[in-house]
Amino acid sequence: MVIQRLQIGAFRNISSARLDPAEGVNRLVGVNGAGKTSVLEAVHFLASGRSFRRGGPDTLRQNGSGEAVLSARIADRGEHALGVRLGEGSREIRLDGANVPGFSALAGVLKTIHYTPEGHRLASGGPRERRRFLDWGLFHVEPAYLDLARRYHRTLQQRNRWLKTGPSGPDPWASQLAASGEEINQQREAYVARLEGKVQEIFGELGGAGELTMGLEQGWPEALGLGEALERDRRRELDSTRMGPHRADLRLILDGSPARERASRGQQKIIILALRLAQLALALEVSGEVPVFLFDDVGSELDPERRRAAMGLLERYGRQVFVTSTEEALCPLPSSGIPAATFRVHEGTIERSE
Ligand SMILES: Nc1ncnc2c1ncn2[C@@H]1O[C@H](COP(=O)(O)OP(=O)(O)OP(=O)(O)O)[C@@H](O)[C@H]1O
């Protein structure tokens, strides 16, 4: 999967920019606050309709006003044109010249995996981020998973609405919810099992110390089927469903203890980088369709040896990669044969350097 052209208008501090990225490694170099992360954020937003930074959509529009415009031409098995306009409380999304109702219609047209300095939150923060990590990764290798997840969430919402009415009769949603919930769980289990080996291998290559293992907490008691768990919990439920894969978590264990308690901030970064790179490797292995990898601030995140190892892994598993750095020297170009480009970012302007 390759972005052939990216256009950014009135987004963060970028008034207007056009990039024709290389098919391989693209370096974005500039001082702090130049706008490098904003370029990665624009790509991520086109792929998912959300930012990897905090703040609502208004923080994306330049100075919080006007209209931000993002577009990209993507080449994969076919070619596609994506476009998004973000106005005040409005957004317009286009695919191949036609308006589409929401980002869900774009799912899979542009796939990205990102690693940012806030990435350690995946280890240290709450379970929502980890579920999202699992679900996107699964979708990258199993496109039908998206429909399954949507079906589950629709039923969950319907059941929660029903619970709010304070019902006393039989549960009309439980069996449907349990069926899709169990299926989600099975797919997540299988994905985690496949991912774990890759994560361990890559964690080792990145010089991560200790034994890293992973496991899935399914979101309801292990000994019960989901239908049974819902039935048993029925009396304690007030107005929302408390059991199910929407309450699942991904356990990250370092040397027998939860990584969030045991691992240092630096170790957490290596763990998360290993997770993201493992997702990339698995996508390549399973689907042959390689997501675009976005790597923010490679220089400050990793020491030289790990940086070299990370870039080597990206050469092995990645196809198109965007890395940001304050200095070129912190991010050497890949070995010969891999197309590469360097872009200088300066106060919101972007220029390719020869
Ligand atoms: N909505 C906005 N409108 C205008 N400028 C913004 C907006 N949001 C952020 N900025 C500014 O845009 C600049 C670019 O930020 P960005 O994080 O992309 O820089 P960066 O080059 O990645 O920096 P660093 O190396 O420090 O991570 C910052 O100076 C920030 O203050």
Question: Does 164 belong to an annotated binding site?
Answer: no
3-state helix, strand, coil in the chain (%, to 5): 45, 25, 30
pTM over 0.90: yes
Spatial separation of the C-alpha atoms in residues 210 and 153, rounded to whole Å: 37
Question: Does 31 belong to an annotated binding site?
Answer: yes
With a 6 A CB cut-off, is 116 part of the ligand 1 pocket? no
Residue 66, classed as helix, strand or coil, is coil
Domain 1-111+289-354 superfamily per CATH: P-loop containing nucleotide triphosphate hydrolases (3.40.50.300)
| Ligand 1: centre distance to CA 38 (Å) | 6
Question: Does 100 belong to an annotated binding site?
Answer: no
With a 6 A CB cut-off, is 33 part of the ligand 1 pocket? yes
With a 6 A CB cut-off, is 11 part of the ligand 1 pocket? no
* Domain residue ranges in the chain: 1-111+289-354
- Between the CA of residue 262 and those of 10, 71, 124, 253, what are the distances in Å? 42, 42, 10, 9
Interface ipTM: 0.97
| Ligand 1: centre distance to CA 162 (Å) | 44
With a 6 A CB cut-off, is 90 part of the ligand 1 pocket? no
Nearest-atom number in ligand 1 for the CA of 34 is: 21
| Ligand 1: centre distance to CA 11 (Å) | 10
- pLDDT tens series, the chain, 354 aa: 999 999 999 999 999 999 999 999 999 999 999 999 999 999 999 999 989 888 777 899 999 989 999 999 999 888 999 999 999 989 999 999 999 988 888 888 999 999 998 888 898 889 999 999 999 999 999 989 999 999 999 999 999 999 999 998 899 999 999 999 999 999 999 999 999 999 999 999 999 999 999 999 999 999 999 999 999 999 888 889 999 999 999 999 999 999 988 888 888 999 999 999 999 999 999 988 899 999 999 888 788 899 999 999 999 999 999 999 999 988 888 877 899 999 999 999 999 997
Residue 295, beta-bridge partner list:
115, 323
Token pair for 217: 């907490």
Question: Does 35 belong to an annotated binding site?
Answer: yes
| Ligand 1: centre distance to CA 348 (Å) | 8
Token pair for 221: 């008691």
Closest C-alpha residue for ligand 1 atom 2:
12
With a 6 A CB cut-off, is 55 part of the ligand 1 pocket? no
Cβ atoms within 10 Å, residue 255: 12
Query: CB–CB of 27/46 below 8 Å?
Result: no
Closest to 74 in 3D by CA, of 290, 278, 317? 290
Question: Does 69 belong to an annotated binding site?
Answer: no
Range 31-34 contact pairs with CB under 8 angstroms and sequence separation of 24 or more: 31/326, 31/346, 32/326, 34/345, 34/346, 34/347, 34/348
